[in-house]
Structure 1
Amino acid sequence: MTDDLLGRHRSVLPDWLALYYEEPIEITHGEGRHVWDSEGNRYLDFFGGILTTMTAHALPEITKAVSEQAGRIVHSSTLYLNRQMVELAERIAKLSGIPDARVFFTTSGTEANDTALLLATTYRRSNTVLAMRNSYHGRSFSSVGITGNRGWSPTSLSPLQTLYVHGGVRTRGPFADLDDYDFVAACVDDLKDLLGHTRPPAALIAEPIQGVGGFTSPPDGLYAAFREVLHERGILWIADEVQTGWGRTGEHFWGWQAHGRSGPPDMLTFAKGIGNGMSIGGVVARSEIMNCLDANSISTFGGTQITMAAGLANLTYLLEHDLQGNARRVGGLLIERLRAVAAQVPAVREVRGRGLMIGIELSRPGTDEADPEAASAVLEAAREGGLLIGKGGGHDTSALRIAPPLSLNVAEAEEGAEILDRALRSIR
């Protein structure tokens, strides 16, 4: 990437628009699980544009669908019938597990969560929302207000009253030393106590696996236990599936299914991977919740013909090629390989995750103190070795985030693990 483009970026775009790497790169094209920069360097992509390129770069089936649709019509708005939008909504409603589901399309996960908050607060006539500590739900005024991660919450002003609940991070906090059963029990007791001190909230919004928070998660069943408490009080459960959905965790199609003994959530939000890079987000909700608004609304760019064509082609490919199963198999091998590496690197505090959603948390050796400098150093070393990964975490961005396209094969997983092995050992 030339200095000129970086200088132009800095002169016209916001200072808070983060760029990776000491020498930022311009990605010009991709194919499969690889991308190339403007200098001709080839990288194995283990981050997929922040989990958006879920299937593969330049996948012919999706490229063909987008190209053919672009030759007919790109956009007409929700004021007109849209066959592609109806077809994709039908498929997502059925896959969601939510009974009598309705689907509303947006352009992003932020907008999807914003819509879910609007629906929940209107339906429940309450502006109080429960959210998880270490959470991230977007960058709009309302979604920033329910984000429990200091690094991504630039203001304390909010139209909502937000109360933060324990449980999203298994290995930190006051309950970290408990076993899984007692951890869940303690979090449930904390939730009950919290509800005894406040007016009834509209909803709990929670990521089954916290994305920006560093791919942390509670023990299976926590949100099912929460749901029982919430259901008794009429409080809604919103599963933020923006990063976990569509089979990425391997074991389940949706993240909420790891906590499913009490049934599906009242609402789920989605985005990122379903478009494989196209701007698709949305909300799935029971009909009485979705239909609770008593004013007109539209979505100018939500559900355009071209994005819906991409989503339909992507979902078809995902299901027909069992990419969920591939995420389980290849992701399992990758996690085992990375844990073997981590056992020899004192700076690695934990390797966690499921399927192709893996976090590596770094700390100063011999302590639980987060080490963001080490995370940045590994990010740089991985890029130099030909691998793109991400960063995250609620403790000063000390976790590495690994989320390749779900079509990753075993050879590519091994290649990426070898590069990460060298990068991690470089900080010893």
Structure 2
Amino acid sequence: MTGPARAGAQAGTTHAGARSESPPGARSGAPSGGSSGGSEELLRRHEGVLPEWLALYYERPIELTRGEGRHVWDAQGNRYLDFFGGILTTMTEHALPAVTRAVAEQAARMVHSSTLYLNRPMIELAERVAALSGIPDARVFFTASGTEANDTALMLATAYRRSNQVLAMRNSYHGRSFTAVGITGNAAWSPTSLSPLRTLYVHGGVRTRGPFAALGDAEFIAACDEDLRDVLTQTRGGVAALIAEPVQGVGGFTSGPDGLFAAFRERLSAEGILWISDEVQTGWGRTGDHFWGWQAHAGNGPPDMLTFAKGIGNGMSIGGVVARAEVMNCFDTNSISTFGGSPVTMAAGLANLAHLLEHDLQGNARRVGALLIERIRSAVGGLDLVREVRGRGLMIGVELVTPGTDASCPRAASLVLEAAREAGLLLGKGGGPGGSVLRIAPPLSLTTQEAEQGAEMLARALRETRERLVA
């Protein structure tokens, strides 16, 4: 297998020399979902028609055919505990009955109409999102993805401020479009240096590496704020906005101290610069302590805009922007969304959000997430493969290094992914060039028993990987 997606860790692939046996304890049986041909044949077809840079996890990529609760099954009938949720997208649980029922009922009435017509499910979901956002006099625009949501927020900011200068965080990721790549501070996910924007990168997204890592939290915030001040002196004319993830997702679940963006906001507000909080991965209660990631930095109020996607649809394609009316209404031209606000996806979002709130899944993320991170930290104590276990709620990162050093080790992350899969556990990875951080983000309904089970499987995979690296 050749090409970037199969040959480089930057694309998210692994090269661990996978074993042939089925995951221990996994259920085997006839493939679910009516797959045609085996996994090797499907991989051959994939490589024959899809881009080489379209990343696949695992040396032997798997086809997932069914999901239920916090588990998924592959085409061979093997069951896995899902600790990645389709990249933080299956937020509540797989095949949530309320969502599948809402989708079926709406699809039976009407699948599509576009935003040129009144759309009751879209208006109802917009009302709920606006009320939850914390942004006063909020307006909501729906898109089909987080990338498109960030594109829209940037277009609003640049139109409102009449400037194409944008501040972004180092180590950030905001999507795969031309505009979003232009503000992504992560070389592994930036296929081109060309951009319609002039982007200036500031410090603060990574707490335990970089020039300010040795400082205390207050001193770290002060140093990052001074860096921001210095960057602003380098600009000519008004900067449009700062866009920032409260917890960096693809960057390895890293974050600055609570209050960092409040300090930034004070400086930005003095110059009229907008703050866009990218909540595509942190929104809807995943961090446990807060419904939105920006609330850890509340300081002098909410952001001017927030973007969302992923979890709200529980697998359906929903993204969007919330902005105060003055900003949202700044366009003086027509605009529509063909697929944003689809009646079917809006029905799914309404059902999923209602389930999340009624079952206090934010509280569950806080409680079970605290247990999970404690179990992982306890299990890896003294293991020199692990540099740091960090996170909040059910958004946890495990940073790996070459044993006995402080050097990031992408190969270790790939090996752990393979070993965990063989044990029946699915993980994600990310964090800088190559990806040396294991990303753990299960559905927010994760039970304590599943957390305990997953922590043990992860611990075994880490110990096995350490042995292989030093053998």
Q: TM-score, normalised by structure 2?
A: 0.90
Alignment of 1:386-401 (within 5 A): 386-401=424-439
The structure 1 residue matched to 2:186, chosen from 120, 127, 149, is 149
In structure 1, C-alpha distance between the alignment counterparts of 2:41 and 2:447, rounded to whole Å: 37
Alignment of 1:203-218 (within 5 A): 203-218=241-256
In structure 1, C-alpha distance between the alignment counterparts of 2:364 and 2:255, rounded to whole Å: 21
* SS state at 1:311 partner: helix
In structure 1, C-alpha distance between the alignment counterparts of 2:215 and 2:265, rounded to whole Å: 21
The structure 2 residue matched to 1:344, chosen from 373, 382, 390, is 382
The structure 2 residue matched to 1:6, chosen from 43, 48, 53, is 43
Match of 1:309 in 2: 347
Q: Is the 8 A contact 2:173 2:248 kept in 1?
A: yes
In structure 2, C-alpha distance between the alignment counterparts of 1:112 and 1:133, rounded to whole Å: 20
1:195 partnered with 2:237: no
* SS state at 1:361 partner: strand
Match of 2:131 in 1: 94
Match of 2:87 in 1: 50
1:409 partnered with 2:452: no
Match of 1:371 in 2: 409
Deviation at 1:365, TM superposition (A): 2.1
In structure 2, C-alpha distance between the alignment counterparts of 1:368 and 1:275, rounded to whole Å: 39
In structure 2, C-alpha distance between the alignment counterparts of 1:120 and 1:70, rounded to whole Å: 35
Task: Return the letter of the residue paired with 1:111.
Answer: E
In structure 2, C-alpha distance between the alignment counterparts of 1:342 and 1:147, rounded to whole Å: 32
The structure 2 residue matched to 1:247, chosen from 281, 285, 289, is 285
The structure 1 residue matched to 2:392, chosen from 337, 354, 361, is 354
Deviation at 1:261, TM superposition (A): 1.3
Residues 49-95 of structure 1: CA distance to partner in whole angstroms, max 9, x if unpaired? 00000000011111111111111001100000000000000000000
1:75 partnered with 2:75: no
Match of 1:225 in 2: 263
Percent of aligned pairs sharing the same letter: 77
Match of 2:216 in 1: 179
Task: Return the letter of the residue paired with 1:105.
Answer: F
Match of 1:23 in 2: 60
Task: Return the letter of the residue paired with 2:317.
Answer: S
Task: Return the letter of the residue paired with 1:293.
Answer: F
Match of 2:11 in 1: none
* SS state at 1:279 partner: coil
Q: Is the 8 A contact 1:131 1:204 kept in 2?
A: yes
Deviation at 1:395, TM superposition (A): 4.0
Deviation at 1:366, TM superposition (A): 2.6
Residues 339-398 of structure 1: CA distance to partner in whole angstroms, max 9, x if unpaired? 112213111000000000000000112322110000000000000000000010014300
In structure 2, C-alpha distance between the alignment counterparts of 1:6 and 1:344, rounded to whole Å: 39
1:289 partnered with 2:327: yes
In structure 2, C-alpha distance between the alignment counterparts of 1:319 and 1:294, rounded to whole Å: 37
* SS state at 1:426 partner: helix
In structure 2, C-alpha distance between the alignment counterparts of 1:228 and 1:420, rounded to whole Å: 41
Residues 285-326 of structure 1: CA distance to partner in whole angstroms, max 9, x if unpaired? 000100000110100000100000000000000000000000
* SS state at 2:396 partner: strand
Structure 1 runs (4+) deviating above 6 angstroms are none
In structure 2, C-alpha distance between the alignment counterparts of 1:248 and 1:395, rounded to whole Å: 25
Q: Is the 8 A contact 1:370 1:396 kept in 2?
A: no
Task: Return the letter of the residue paired with 1:230.
Answer: L
User: Which range moves more in the overlay, 38-47 or 194-203?
Assistant: 194-203
Match of 2:300 in 1: 262
Match of 2:15 in 1: none
- How many residue pairs were aligned? 428
Match of 2:164 in 1: 127
Task: Return the letter of the residue paired with 2:86.
Answer: G
1:275 partnered with 2:308: no
Q: Is the 8 A contact 2:314 2:352 kept in 1?
A: yes
In structure 2, C-alpha distance between the alignment counterparts of 1:368 and 1:120, rounded to whole Å: 39
Task: Return the letter of the residue paired with 2:295.
Answer: Q
Task: Return the letter of the residue paired with 2:298.
Answer: G
Match of 2:422 in 1: 384
Q: Is the 8 A contact 1:274 1:314 kept in 2?
A: yes
Residues 139-194 of structure 1: CA distance to partner in whole angstroms, max 9, x if unpaired? 01000000001100000000000000000000011000101110000000010011
In structure 1, C-alpha distance between the alignment counterparts of 2:94 and 2:453, rounded to whole Å: 18
Q: Is the 8 A contact 2:39 2:61 kept in 1?
A: no
